[in-house]
Amino acid sequence: MNRNLWLLPICLYFLSLFGCALVAKQEWSDNYASITGVRATNARMIDGNIRTFGETAFREGSEQDTFGPAPTSQAIVMLPERKVIRRVVIHSDNLKKFTVYADKGSEDWQVVKEVNNVTSNPIDLSVNAPFPTDKIRIRVLGTTDDASLRRGQRRRNFWASGNRRAPGKIYEIELYGYQSATAADAEEPMGSQDQSEAELDQLLK
């Protein structure tokens, strides 16, 4: 038995190396939403200042009558190049229920996270997006302001039409991948600033 004791420190050494490798893979990248060239539904959602907020946007012409389905609002962040997103952090004090999507390309939106009951601020999410993307969309299904909005509309006019979901107030959106991600995770840069802004406008129509 004593003859095998010399193997113990060697095993411990390799185990420590393996553990360090695992930790390295979990180190987060810099915030992708803060790099040059990023665009968003509202610039205040990605300006790095958690004291300012932008509201999620309803699609053009999305107002419904009192008995129709309530439209949803959304926020979109567009990156200048494709990244593999593993973590999304949202600073918001009124989001209650929402879905996070990533675009696989050509507006092929894939659900990467569903949140049915927000209990904290900021909202720190691990997401399952194994493919590179240059667009993240947050579709707001409920806020803490919805009930008061509906009461206010009914007081003014019971038959009034309008958005019966309040917009989400987002102070900041942060997007992260793994720091150890290779250049293979990123694809070709997008087009010019004007092109990306035009694409963002089109997504909100």
Q: What is the pLDDT of residue 60?
A: 78
Separation in Å, CA 98 to CA 11, 61, 137, 178, 198: 47, 21, 10, 24, 25
- CATH number at 73 reads 2.60.120.260
Instruction: Let me know if residue 137 belongs to a domain.
Output: yes
- Please, are residues 139 and 74 in contact by the beta-carbon 8 Å criterion? yes
pLDDT of res. 204: 56
How many Cβ atoms sit within 10 Å of the Cβ of residue 58? 17
Split into its structural domains, the chain has a count of 1
Tell me, what's the pLDDT at 14? Answer: 54
Sequential pLDDT tens for the chain (205 residues): 555 555 556 655 555 555 555 444 579 999 999 999 999 999 999 999 999 999 999 987 666 544 556 789 999 999 999 999 999 999 999 999 999 999 999 999 999 999 999 999 999 999 988 899 999 999 999 999 988 876 665 555 655 555 578 999 999 999 999 987 544 455 445 555 555 556 656 665 5
In a domain, 147, yes or no: yes
Residue 42 lies in a domain: yes
Task: List Cβ neighbours of 27 (8 Å cut-off, separation of 6 or more).
Answer: 178, 179, 180
Task: Indicate whether 2 belongs to any domain.
Answer: no
Instruction: Determine, yes or no, domain membership for 44.
Output: yes
- Phi then psi for residue 187, to 5 deg, are -110, -165
Other beta carbons less than 10 A from residue 77's beta carbon? 23
Q: Which pLDDT value is given to residue 164?
A: 75
Residue 99 within a domain? yes
Return d(Cα 120, Cα 84) in angstroms, integer: 25
- 114 lies in which domain range? 37-177
User: How many other C-beta atoms can be found within 10 angstroms of the C-beta atom of residue 38?
Assistant: 19
Domain assignment of residue 109, yes or no: yes
What is the three-class DSSP state of 136? strand
Q: Distance from first CA to last CA of the chain, Å, rounded?
A: 74
The residues, ordered by sequence, that sit 6+ positions from 76 with a Cβ below 8 Å of its Cβ are: 40, 41, 135, 136, 137, 138, 200, 203, 204
Q: DSSP for 84-104, please give it.
A: ---EEEEEESSEEEEEEEEE-
Give the separation between CA 32 and CA 181, rounded to whole angstroms: 13
